[in-house]
Structures are given as C-alpha cells and as structure tokens.
Structure 1
Amino acid sequence: MTAKNGLITDTYKVVKKVKRSNRREKKPPSPPAAEPPQLSEREVDLQQLRKFDLTWQFGPCTGITRLQRWERAALHGLNPPQKIKDILLRESTDPEYTHSLWRDYPL
C-alpha cells in the first residue's frame, strides 16, 4: 500500500450511497399488553401490611407487633387505616401477619 499523496482515497475507491427519500424507519412491533398476574388475597393483604410498615407517619415499627403499632398510632390521633386493623384481627395467629417487616433485623 504505497501511495504518492498518502491519502486513503488513493488506495480505496470512494463509494457514495444513494439516499432514498421515501424510505420508512422500521420499528419493531410493540408487544401485546400483558395482564398483571392475579395476586391471592393473602398476597394482597401482606402487601398492604408491608406498605403500612414502611409508612413512617404512624411511628416506628421495630420491637412491637403491627397491631400494637396500629393501636399506638390511633391513640396519638394519627388515623391509621382501619383496613389494616381488620386484616390483623382476622389473621391474629399468623406471625407473617402480626410481626412487622423488620422482625428479622436486630435492634
């Protein structure tokens, strides 16, 4: 590859592409809207209880049960959701319902 001028166009032929004005961009077809998976009643309840645990407006939740936290929040006029208390009273023996999200972490 010896070139007199040292330009690359001396060695390789210049090829220009022809532009097409009516060319459309191809977009991949959008996937069909998938329905969200149906959650069981237990999963919905536990999801609401986790949300209750993460809502700091009702005070700290470490070291006490969810029902104790709900009652303390009600005592202080923080208006915790009645639905949470209903869930807790309905499932009062299941530790997954009664203990807070943070029960597995040391204080």
Structure 2
Amino acid sequence: MGRKRLITDSYPVVKRREDPGRRCKGELAAEPGEEPQLPGVDDCELELLRQFDLAWQYGPCTGITRLQRWLRAEQMGLEPPPEVQQLLLTHPGDPRYQCSLWHRYPI
C-alpha cells in the first residue's frame, strides 16, 4: 500500500517565473492606450463622501441626498463632519457629489 492519493496529484506542478511588472491581486489593469493615473483631488473628495455614506452613525442614506442626510444628522445632534458639508456646498449640481453611494439601486 502506498500513500493516500490527493486531488492535487492529478494536476501537473507549474512554477511561474516572477515578473517585476506583474500586478497584485485585485489591481485593475489600465485600458489599452490609457495612462495610469494617481488619485487626484476629486478621487480623495469622493472617497470622503463614500466613507460618509458608509458611516452608520448618521442614519440611513437611501432615498435622500447626501446634503439632506448631513442636515438631518446635524439637527439630531450627531455631529457629522463639517468638511462633508463644505464639499457638498461647493459642488451643488454634480450628482457624483450630491447622490449617495446607493442611489443607483432600487429601494
């Protein structure tokens, strides 16, 4: 009797050469002809707003705009971040800033 067979015995062993240009898992490739870009000011601002959307302590964010949610949290004494209000007031017509993270999904 030999050793117990494993499922991995039926597959050949393949060693990969390390590629210095290889991407990490989860990293998206750039589109052909597109230069990879570093996060800009807009990306940092939008990330701050996403974090505000995900913060449960300011109440639900579905069905209302971010500014409405911020004002509701302020009225309830929950002390929402003032930089979020400043950001929302500087971009009044831009849906990327005004609509919450979940506005594309039906309630």
TM-score range, shorter chain: 0.5 to 0.7
User: Distance between the aligned counterparts of 1:72 and 1:38, measured in 2?
Assistant: 34
Aligned to 2:60: 60
TM-score of the two chains, using structure 1 as the length reference: 0.64
- Does 2:42 correspond to 1:42? yes
Q: Report the counterpart of residue 77 of structure 2 in structure 1.
A: 77
Mapped to 1, the partners of 2:94 and 2:44 lie a distance apart of: 15
Question: Which one has the largest radius of gyration?
Answer: 1
Mapped to 1, the partners of 2:74 and 2:82 lie a distance apart of: 10
Q: Which residue of 2 aligns with 1:12?
A: none
1:103 aligns with 2:92: no
CA positional deviation for 1:42: 0.5
> CA RMSD for the aligned pairs?
1.0
User: What letter corresponds to residue 75 of structure 1 in structure 2?
Assistant: Q
Does structure 1 residue 90 correspond to structure 2 residue 90? yes
TM-superposed deviation, 1:39: 1.9
Structure 1 ranges of 4+ moved more than 3 A: none
Aligned positions, number: 71
Aligned partner letter, 2:63: G
- TM-score, scaled to structure 2: 0.64
**CA shift at 1:38, angstroms?**
3.9
What letter is aligned with 1:45?
Answer: E
Match of 1:26 in 2: none
